[in-house]
Structure 1
Amino acid sequence: MKKIQRFLLVVILLTFVTKTFAQRGNYRITNGFSISGGYSQFDIVTNNFETKAGNGFAAGFLATVDIPNQWYNIGFGLQFAENTLGISGRQDLISANHTFIDYKLMKVQAVLLANIKVVENIFTIDVGPMIQYNSSLELKDDTEKNYYITNYNTLMADDITDISKFNFNGVVGASVGIKNIKLRGQYIYGFTNILKNLENKNLDTSGGNARFKGNQSMMVFGATISF
């Protein structure tokens, strides 16, 4: 909650400074609002588990502050996403057959973007920080909760669900289109360790690494409609 409050404070201050600068330079500020939606893919980059990227969706809204005659816009907003993730496991201790256990993850992401105008009103490169609150990993099939995780002797599928809830990400992407409709692609990388909270669970990590480290990797492909 404190991280979100700090993010909102930064957004308010940045908007104030942007408006002040625009007024001093006699620029006309254009405020915009857009909604977005599309396909997303999510994975966790880690040496602890064998993972398989899962598909999902992402949708949200973005407010923009456009200063004519400047090389950038400022955008800030919220994105909501649901994704799946596969983690390799086995049905029993002695089984040689491994399968991917499917998990589901919900995310709310607050983002602040600098939209670099490559071709004004047509093509921008979008970069900035993102604060994320996510759910725990949720097993899509409860019958798999007692499966054993690959790379560990007795660690079970249900043991690794309580991952870190607050994470800090970086975003880089691009938007291209005409008038009020644009196609958008984003790559989101997690700077914080999304598996860190597992180290506080006194898990039996025999056979594997007791230090959990993982960074989220997420791609979003979709469209935005501006008003």
Structure 2
Amino acid sequence: MKKFKLYLLVAICSLFVTFSFAQRSSYNIKNGFALGGGLTQFDIITDNFETKSNTGWLAHMSATVDIPHKWYNVSYGMQLSENKMSVNGFASALSSNFEPIDYKILTAQVAFLVHAKLAGPYLTLDFGPVLQYNSDLEFDDEGQEEWFVAEFDSLLAKDFVDITNFNVNGAVGLTAGFENFKIRGQYIYGFTNILGDLNDSNAANFTNKKFKGNQSMLTIALLITF
């Protein structure tokens, strides 16, 4: 059901991006469209666990309004990604060796970005808000569900998967390239507490701790523009 909701959001966002720029305008602007894909490095910045970022993938689409006589362009876009991260854990209560518990998380992001022209259309500084729907944490290896998180040796790894599904982020980055081919790097930081839902779970009841974490996500994508 959660994956169905994620894909439904992607479909709605796609329609929004497509139709937002289908109308005529009296301004001297040029509308563009971009498709692409790339890689992500995802992590959660938190004092509750020892985490490590891993590499995932993303798919990107966006519509751009090119305003020739302004110092900026704007774009509406969305991207779907599968991200990976890990936390330290133990395979059993008797183990003393740390081993990574590998998680993955699906995200659908909708962004409104301003592109400041540093060198005309060939290099821009990109920044703006990002709304995100994401899945709960899922195991790369379901056999690790019964493992123990290192910081909480009385609780299983599966007790820590229920994270906040709607989050508000900010993005900043650079886009460089030519008319039909660009490369974009971004850093996306989560302003909301992505671990907030854990505070209403059994994990909080047993540990008497408040969970807090902020998403940290690096992306690099190759874009074909039309």
Query: Taking every aligned residue pair, what percent have the same amino acid on both sides?
Result: 44
| Alignment correspondent of 1:124 | 124
TM-score scaled by length of structure 1: 0.86
* Other structure's SS at 1:198 match: helix
Shift of 1:29: 0.9
| Alignment correspondent of 1:215 | 214
Question: 1:204, 1:223 → 2: CA distance?
Answer: 41
What whole-Å deviation, never above 9, does each CA across 1:126-147 have from its counterpart, x for those lacking one? 0000000000111111111111
Question: 1:60, 1:204 → 2: CA distance?
Answer: 36
Shift of 1:209: 6.3
Runs of 4+ in 1 over 3 A off after TM superposition: none
Considering only aligned residues, what root-mean-square deviation do their CA atoms show, in Å?
A: 2.1
Indicate conservation of the 8 Å contact 2:64/2:73, yes or no.
yes
Indicate conservation of the 8 Å contact 2:159/2:202, yes or no.
no
1:74-93 to structure 2, matched below 5 A, reads: 74-93=74-93
Question: 1:216, 1:209 → 2: CA distance?
Answer: 23
Which consecutive residues of structure 2, in runs of 5 or more, have no partner in the other structure?
none
Shift of 1:75: 0.3
Question: 1:65, 1:198 → 2: CA distance?
Answer: 40
| Alignment correspondent of 1:95 | 95
Question: 2:154, 2:50 → 1: CA distance?
Answer: 16
* Other structure's SS at 2:153 match: coil
One-letter amino acid matched to 1:114: V
Question: 1:148, 1:202 → 2: CA distance?
Answer: 15
What whole-Å deviation, never above 9, does each CA across 1:49-81 have from its counterpart, x for those lacking one? 111101111111010111111000110111000
State whether structure 2 residue 171 is matched by structure 1 residue 176: no
Q: Cα gap change, 1:215/1:204 in structure 2, threshold over 3 Å: closer, same or farther?
A: closer
Question: 1:76, 1:209 → 2: CA distance?
Answer: 42
State whether structure 2 residue 34 is matched by structure 1 residue 34: yes
1:185-204 to structure 2, matched below 5 A, reads: 185-203=185-203
Q: Kindly tell me the number of residue pairs found equivalent between the two proteins.
A: 210
Question: 2:129, 2:204 → 1: CA distance?
Answer: 35
Question: 2:121, 2:204 → 1: CA distance?
Answer: 55
| Alignment correspondent of 1:139 | 139
Indicate conservation of the 8 Å contact 1:78/1:109, yes or no.
yes
Indicate conservation of the 8 Å contact 1:154/1:204, yes or no.
no
What whole-Å deviation, never above 9, does each CA across 1:23-66 have from its counterpart, x for those lacking one? 4xxx5111111112111110000010111101111111010111
